[in-house]
A and B are shown apart, each in its own frame.
Chain A
Amino acid sequence: MSKYYLNYLDELESEAIYILREVWAQFENPVILFSGGKDSILVTHLAKKAFYPSKIPFALMHVDTGHNFPETIQFRNDLVEKLGVKLIVGSVQDSIDQGRVAEEKGKNATRNALQITTLLDAIETNKVDCAIGGGRRDEEKARAKERFFSHRDDFGQWDPKNQRPELWNLLNGKHFEGEHFRAFPISNWTEMDVWNYIKRENISIPSLYYAHEREVVFRSNSWIPVSEYLKLEEGEKVEKKKIRFRTLGDITITGGIESDADTLEKIALEVSAMRKTERGDRSDDKRSETAMEDRKKQGYF
């Protein structure tokens, strides 16, 4: 075999860098949607490579539910300082205070769906014409249909049945005033690819991904962290467990798994043996068969 071929991680990296550079070339004011989770950290890392030795030419935009892991916010602030990029925060709390959205009521109330309004408001007020996300097609069946360049109408909505065909490497980012795009440079990565790459590149990620001792409550088949926002229900008891998180979202809905994986090697090994998808521990996706599709159509990440 000739030596002039790329292995799969290098090919995925090259594809992602190509897409990030296309975003920069085709849009006026793109941002990276940054949640503090591993996928948006990976996208930021790839952006650093794509524009080296220049600085990352995108601001990071964080949609803050107000229900954060403190570790995530610390990590975000450190990274922004290190990279010298601008941070834009869209606050769900502000949206609530302004009466733009109302808190959900009931037992499983979360601020997950409320993020849509905050996100679309932040996109509009900051005149963002392309929001780069860390969404992957292997995550969820609605996401499997996403394009690299995904059009959003002037209400921020996604029309999955009427998407622009995307052929070869030719990405069409043309849009009218008021419309915007979402770009997904790591569409073709799986959870395993992400971990293998993080391990290979030794990318720093929030401590929450590593196994650590934490006070938790067992709810809907996973360990929900105790926080000031968590309301204990009858029969639930607080326990101390060694856990880690496979995904990071709103602290009220992100469940951890019991684990001893405290290094990137151990995490990658553990993930390769996993028998459940990573979003299996996210109660936002468990609400219905089409929970993600419904949210995405309205403008969710």
Chain B
Amino acid sequence: MEINNNQLLRFTTAGSVDDGKSTLIGRLLFDSKSIFEDQLESVSNTSAKKGHDGVDLALFTDGLKDEREQGITIDVAYRYFTTPKRKFIIADTPGHIQYTRNMVTGASTANAAVILIDARHGVIEQTKRHSFIASLLNIPHLIVCINKMDLVDYSEEVYNNIIGQFEEFSSKLLMKDVRFIPISALLGDNVVNRSKNMDWYQEGTLLSTLEKLHISSDINKIDARFAVQTVLRPQNEDFRDYRGYAGRIASGIYRVGDEVAVLPSGFQSKIKSINAGEKEVKEAYAPMSVSITLEDDIDVSRGNMIVKQNNQPEQEQEFDVMLCWLNNDPIKPRAKYTIMHTSNEERAMVKEVVYKMNINTFERDSEDATLEMNDIARVKIRTTRRLMLDSYRDNRNTGSIILIDENTNETVAAGMII
């Protein structure tokens, strides 16, 4: 295969137990010829051992010992396949235990979410929950697959009814791009190959939809944000005065000669050079990893942000966040946590739970101030020093935070800045 300019698309899959999610992923991998002979052989043997007829496609996504024994998915697993058009990364998230925690994790870097609905059952509570999380995490593209069409006689009416149900509740959610596809993962209809059983459906298959999604405009190109990860100061003769600020561009475009400000100090300077590895470049953009040098010798360190003078983020010490609680231990009122935001780290306190979301009904509960595993709530956070913030809607990279429990070092919460 030639090296080409194909893009990478990351998507996450969500469905409740028995929606056929594992079968769908198995089908995508199998029909796109991403399964190797030894994997097929191993899965065929296991299928036979379990008494299945033919190959159980769901087994391709089996992972850990406990998962195989119990027939469930415990943790996010990543799968890979490539077509002549794109490289794909699937974040395969479990449908039941710790669903919110795992789905939020898989969704955080996804360009698209694939949500499965069982055609026999239509929209159920879990569909709403998964759609809510996709919208909350601001996943740019949502593909709703109505699965098991073979079990409802490939009925267009059933399909249209489910679209109706979906649109009714999803009008309350912020979603930019939603598509619907009738499929049978088990039999392969409209997954990779076009179905012969549903002439009434003229749009693309799941794979061709994933191949064509326009994703290059999903990254914010307007607001230039560059958080410094580390400072490069080579100890050799050729680069004696080199002071490179290394990081990955979060959003926007940087060019040599740009007038920039370093936050939080506010010192101003101009970009002198940009390096991508050994190569010097004139301009760089998200999500490139580069190192930048400035014309002036100013104090810049990890956690600082280099931005354009005329376009700066807010600097706040108190702000509102939609917080997902990810840990078995519930939130401790007024306890101190470590907050990570871009390459910055401070101490933080959750001052107040404004309201808790009921993610099945989308209702807000402002009475309940507890936060337990899988809960989502709007909270007020106060940090020891100001952070350079954007809202999550505008910028996924500079609008997201995690909280770390200082007693256990565990990541206990993920937040999206409002």
Known: A6-B288, A160-B75. A52 touches B277 (CB 8 A): yes
Cα distance, A195 to B392, chains bound together (Å): 36
Cα distance, A138 to B66, chains bound together (Å): 20
Cα distance, A141 to B62, chains bound together (Å): 7
Known: A168-B108, A199-B3. A5 touches B216 (CB 8 A): yes
Within 8 A of A (CB), among B276-306: 277-278, 285, 287-289, 291, 302
A residues less than 8 Å from B76 (CB atoms): 145
**Are B216 and A18 in contact (CB-based, < 8 A)?**
no
Within 8 A of B (CB), among A1-16: 1-2, 4-15
Q: Is B200 an interface residue (CB 8 A)?
A: no
**Are B404 and A174 in contact (CB-based, < 8 A)?**
yes
**Are B3 and A9 in contact (CB-based, < 8 A)?**
yes
Q: Is B246 an interface residue (CB 8 A)?
A: yes
Q: Is B247 an interface residue (CB 8 A)?
A: yes
**Are B288 and A14 in contact (CB-based, < 8 A)?**
yes
Return the chain B residue nearest A286 by Cβ: B38
A residues less than 8 Å from B63 (CB atoms): 141-142, 144-145
Q: Is A235 an interface residue (CB 8 A)?
A: no
B residues less than 8 Å from A174 (CB atoms): 338, 404, 409
**Are B78 and A49 in contact (CB-based, < 8 A)?**
no
Within 8 A of A (CB), among B32-46: 36-39, 42
Within 8 A of B (CB), among A27-75: 48-55
Instruction: Point out the residue from A7, A168, A274 that lies within 8 Å of B397, measured CB to CB.
Output: A168
Cα distance, A172 to B101, chains bound together (Å): 16
Cα distance, A199 to B411, chains bound together (Å): 38
B residues less than 8 Å from A163 (CB atoms): 75
Contact with B along A267-282 (1 / 0, CB 8 A): 0110010111100100
Q: Is A220 an interface residue (CB 8 A)?
A: no
Cα distance, A172 to B410, chains bound together (Å): 8
A residues less than 8 Å from B7 (CB atoms): 5-8, 11
B residues less than 8 Å from A50 (CB atoms): 246, 277, 289
Known: A25-B229, A161-B75, A172-B402. A53 touches B108 (CB 8 A): no
Cα distance, A145 to B77, chains bound together (Å): 5
**Are A277 and B36 in contact (CB-based, < 8 A)?**
yes
A residues less than 8 Å from B248 (CB atoms): 14, 17-18, 169
B residues less than 8 Å from A193 (CB atoms): 87
Q: Is B170 an interface residue (CB 8 A)?
A: no
Within 8 A of B (CB), among A255-301: 268-269, 272, 274-277, 280, 289-290, 293
A residues less than 8 Å from B334 (CB atoms): none
**Are B340 and A176 in contact (CB-based, < 8 A)?**
no
Q: Is B331 an interface residue (CB 8 A)?
A: no
**Are A54 and B74 in contact (CB-based, < 8 A)?**
no
- Give the shortest distance, in Å, between A161 (CB) and chain B (any CB): 6
- Give the shortest distance, in Å, between A98 (CB) and chain B (any CB): 32
Q: Is B109 an interface residue (CB 8 A)?
A: yes
Return the chain B residue nearest A197 by Cβ: B3
Q: Is B160 an interface residue (CB 8 A)?
A: no
Return the chain B residue nearest A273 by Cβ: B1
Known: A21-B229, A145-B63. A4 touches B36 (CB 8 A): no
Instruction: Point out the residue from A21, A55, A141, A166 that lies within 8 Å of B289, measured CB to CB.
Output: A21
Instruction: Point out the residue from A15, A167, A199 that lies within 8 Å of B104, measured CB to CB.
Output: A167
**Are A21 and B3 in contact (CB-based, < 8 A)?**
no
Q: Is B8 an interface residue (CB 8 A)?
A: yes
Q: Is B235 an interface residue (CB 8 A)?
A: yes
- Give the shortest distance, in Å, between A267 (CB) and chain B (any CB): 12
Q: Is A188 an interface residue (CB 8 A)?
A: yes
Cα distance, A245 to B287, chains bound together (Å): 34
A residues less than 8 Å from B236 (CB atoms): 53, 55
Cα distance, A268 to B277, chains bound together (Å): 24
Known: A25-B343, A160-B75. A4 touches B253 (CB 8 A): yes
Within 8 A of B (CB), among A162-205: 163-170, 172, 174-176, 187-188, 190, 192-193, 196, 199-200
Closest 8 interchain pairs by CB? A49-B277, A5-B216, A17-B289, A8-B8, A174-B409, A167-B108, A54-B234, A280-B38
| A–B Cβ pairs within 8 angstroms, 12 of them | A4-B285, A6-B288, A17-B277, A21-B229, A25-B343, A164-B410, A164-B411, A169-B397, A170-B341, A170-B401, A200-B3, A280-B38
Known: A141-B63, A188-B80, A275-B36. 20 other contacts (CB 8 A): A1-B214, A2-B216, A5-B7, A5-B216, A6-B287, A21-B230, A50-B277, A52-B232, A53-B242, A55-B234, A145-B64, A161-B75, A164-B411, A165-B411, A165-B414, A167-B104, A172-B404, A188-B89, A269-B1, A290-B64
Interface residues of A (CB under 8 A from B): 1-2, 4-15, 17-18, 21-22, 24-25, 48-55, 137-138, 141-142, 144-145, 160-161, 163-170, 172, 174-176, 187-188, 190, 192-193, 196, 199-200, 268-269, 272, 274-277, 280, 289-290, 293
